[in-house]
Structure 1
Amino acid sequence: VRIYGAKDNKLREAQITDQEGRFGFLVDPGEYYIKAEKPGYIFPSAKEKLTLYGELITAYRGKTIKVEEKEKGIINVNLPLDPDASLIPQKRLVSANIFNSLLSFFEKASLYIFIPGFIFSTSAYVITPNLYNKVIFIIYLLLIGAMIITSLRSKRQHGLIRDAQTGEPLGSVIIRVFNEEYGQMVQERITDQKGRYLFLVPPGIYYLIAKKEGYRFFQSELLTIKAKGKSIKRDFKLEKIK
């Protein structure tokens, strides 16, 4: 955090915030302005309303600060920073693409293995109805029943991102969830090839940002999670940059 003289634009003092983000300047009477820098963040914040510990706060956005003669000259304003969504971790993106491709392959492979196995066990039981073939056949029936019940009862726990024009799922989208109260990034995910993502978060108020090359930046409305064990599963669409 740096403080400058408003008239001559000269640096008066620079500080590094402590672990709790605190800082403070003791200055002579005059006019000043402050700048804040942190890798991966943008100052000033573009958010209109900001809260701290659940209460609205007055945020400093770069305007001139006047310190009068009668004042003590202590400057300790609130400096909210916005995460810079343009910084795309390419290495993580490549790793995620490889992982998602392998995961998709094994999902499809398991289905191709299960179906022939069921056909073979059914044929074996019909041709040779001994105890062994009967047990294998019953196991397959139980597995099929469990899969059907699970698919009917389970609710979708993941969110889905699609192309706004085509409606097709978008893979390799970098999506981050932020705590609204503190403005801190809680988790980060990269959507799989089917455009899916999943955030398991404690109760609180959050918002999402999403970034993909060739698409417009997206920021969601505030999302309230009231119970433990709940997931953020908001579906939304990204618009292509024309």
Structure 2
Amino acid sequence: MAALGVRKRARPWGTVYDSITKQPLDPAVVVLYDLNGREITTSITDLDGRFGFLVQPGVYKVVPHKTNYTFASEKLSGKSRDELYHDLYFGDYFEVKEESQVIARNLPMDPVKFDWNEFAKNKQKLMKFYSRRDRILARVTTIFFFFGFFVALAAVLSIPKTYNIVIFSLYLVLVFIRRVGLKTRAFGQVTDSEGNPLSFSLIKVFSADLKNQITQRATDKYGRYFCLVPNGSYCVTIERKLEDGSYTQIFASEPISINAGIIKKDFKVGLPIELPANDSSAKLGE
């Protein structure tokens, strides 16, 4: 598919990146605003410039901030994609219509000054998800794709035989796939043993030896969460929110291997039995 110029599955996150070099920007602070201009939440990009917001239906705007860079990009203004990134975003308000949708737009920023931090990272080749090879391959496959498309178009116009029509129709399908990408689910969900969502629970991610906490996320009212992590091995604990606002741990996973940069596993948790406080059998251990 790549040889035909068709993108891989759309990555389930957004990326803040340099509009010229196409390299991800880290750290950048990404702020989510509602229609009234009220700040909803913020996210700090990781080493690969990644971020994402799990939101409910509404109207939103996203603004990234990074020293020595400016947004919205003027160099890519008016474009919906470039060599590596699709669904480019330039600061307009947009509407989210689906429940628990992940905002994962790609945000190009124009450099205004030389940034030693980005220069050092590029030199050390610290980025994991895109490389110079990816950029070259994207350009080459795009050239081959459109060359084949116009050859197929010329063939169907000059010799409108069945096989030429079929080939051109396949190219039209590929154009559509290339345009919209192949989407994948970007979130995981926490439910109890009966499938009921565990709303507003805490998900904590630890290194595999449980010595260092890497990050934590809270589930939404549907028990869904969005969690980006570097590739590696992790353990996950889940804490249920109690009526008094405190949390109690109800689950701890075995080590989970992550090789796609995101945890989106569904966890089904068996909850401890809660007996009424005035139940004498609970007190007697019967």
- TM-score of the aligned structures, taking structure 1 as reference length: 0.37
Report the structure number with the largest CA radius of gyration: 1
- TM-score of the aligned structures, taking structure 2 as reference length: 0.31
